[in-house]
Amino acid sequence: MKISSKPGPLMAPLPTIMVSSGDMENSNILTIAWSGIINSDPPMTYVSIKKSRFSHDIIEKNGEFVINLTTTELAKAMDFCGVKSGRDIDKFSHLGLTREEGDIVKAPMIAEAPVNLECKVTEIKSFPSHDMFIAEIVAVHIDDKYVDEKGAYDYGKMDLVAFNHGKYYRLRREEIGFFGYSIMKPKTAKRRRKK
């Protein structure tokens, strides 16, 4: 039996990304769970930000931001960036995070994050509680620790964090399948077992 609940944004798991904005001198970070991918070519994403957030106006003015993926090691910093405002504190300095220059956008990347996605805003859609910043991913940086000799990325090794109804969970290296495994041919299964 299932109970019916009041309609709410009860989607899970969600990402816990650290979104950096501003420039190398004046920068900020806020934590975002309401984000996702909306197009593959060009690669496009969105972040939904409340109008009251300090980051909201910075991103609206500059039209760019960086998505930094969060690892277990960064989880406390990620939580802090989601409860303290850049109006009152320089979160980069307070947390001892390193600002790293991107290739295209002025917003600094977080050097300690395993993946940085430089994003340029293409459209802002206003909703009653949040503004949705739709953006193109214009450059991607991945720590070479997670790239093998064939150039494949191993996200399983990153120990990323997911937001699951108010709590943070590790995405540890316990693979339970892969894209398309439900219909793989016995030949493919054999080849993969050999690896």
Q: Which residues bind ligand FMN (CB under 6 A)?
A: 16, 28, 30-34, 48-50, 53-55, 79, 82-87, 130, 163
**Which residue has its beta carbon closest to ligand FMN?**
82
Could you tell me the two tokens for 167? Answer: 């709590």
Residue 7 to residue 157: CA distance in whole angstroms: 36
Nearest to 131 by CA among 58, 41, 40, 24: 58
Of 84 and 157, which CB lies nearer to ligand FMN in the complex structure?
Answer: 84
C-alpha pair distances (Å), 139 with each of 118, 136, 143: 5, 9, 14
Minimal distance, residue 57 CB to ligand FMN, in Å: 9
Cβ-based nearer residue to ligand FMN, 63 or 153: 63
**Cα gap 59→38, rounded to integer Å:** 19
Least gap, CB of 122 to ligand FMN (angstroms)? 19
User: Residue 34 or 146: which CB sits closer to ligand FMN?
Assistant: 34
| Shortest distance, position 113 Cβ to ligand FMN, whole Å | 15
Separation between Cα atoms, residue 57 and residue 52, nearest integer Å: 9
* Minimal distance, residue 123 CB to ligand FMN, in Å: 17
